Amino acid sequence: MNHQEILNRVDHTLLTPDATWEQVRAVCDDGLAFSTASVCIPPRFVKRAAEYVGHELKICTVVGFPNGYSTPEVKVFETEDAIRNGADEIDMVMSLGLAKAGDWEGVLEEIKAVKTSCKGRILKVIVEACLLTQEEKVAACRVVTMSGAEYIKTSTGFSTGGATVEDIRLFRENISPDLRIKAAGGIRTFEQAQAMLDAGADRLGASALVGLAKQMGI
């Protein structure tokens, strides 16, 4: 892929806790200018950003972020609030505690509840792969496949590691053909982005690639 085709797969992301509206607006401007797949921003700014971009750019936000240990009811409320405010896509963190306890039925029920509250919008389930064993990653692939979500996402970018080519390949081997993969966390070059796409990723969560594109004069 050329650089623009890669940017078309990017959720241009700003999720730092101290993000201001001015910074979010700049991210939206960059998303519009570089035709990114979406901008992924804090819930607080969804309504304002959606009004700012109109229907020219998809607005993505996060639920249960970054630790995933909110109750299912809270995650559902967050999702409903985001949708009311104009979010097009939801990236939720699954319950890692339930996963570690082997309660995959509980994980599945929570994801399905959030998916229902999305009302047809795209749902990406963040499994925080860096905290999972190989067996747990495979189980997560199975559960997200069963949930009705559109994407399985590797990472929040706020834990001990981000996306790896090995995890993307493992996910691709263990999900259904219609479930897509979002690689996120630590993708700082176009070469890294291409490697993720080559391994089977469909979408990329990145905050650095647009800035890099500017430096390169793309």
Q: Any catalytic annotation for residue 58?
A: no
The pTM of this model reads: 0.97
Active-site residue among 115, 124, 137, 182?
182
Structural domain of residue 189, as residue ranges? 3-216
Asked whether the predicted pLDDT for residue 78 surpasses 90, the reply is yes
Active-site residue among 91, 115, 137, 167?
91
CATH number at residue 110: 3.20.20.70
CA distances from 193 to 35, 74, 132 (A): 16, 33, 23
Q: Any catalytic annotation for residue 81?
A: no
CA dihedral 195, 16, 7, 178 (to 10 degrees): 70
Q: What pLDDT score does 218 carry?
A: 84
Per the structure, the count of domains in the chain is 1
Active-site residue among 11, 30, 153, 167?
153
Give Cβ neighbours of residue 133 (< 8 Å, ≥ 6 apart). none
pLDDT grade for 202, boundaries at 50, 70 and 90: very high
pLDDT tens for each residue of 155-165? 999 999 999 99
pLDDT tens for each residue of 119-173? 999 999 999 999 999 999 999 999 999 999 999 999 999 999 999 999 999 999 9
Asked if 105 and 139 count as a contact pair (C-beta separation under 8 A), the reply is no
Cβ count within 10 A of residue 47: 16
Q: What value does the mean pLDDT take over residues 23-33?
A: 98
- In the chain, % of residues over pLDDT 90: 99
Residue whose structure tokens are 């949930």: 147
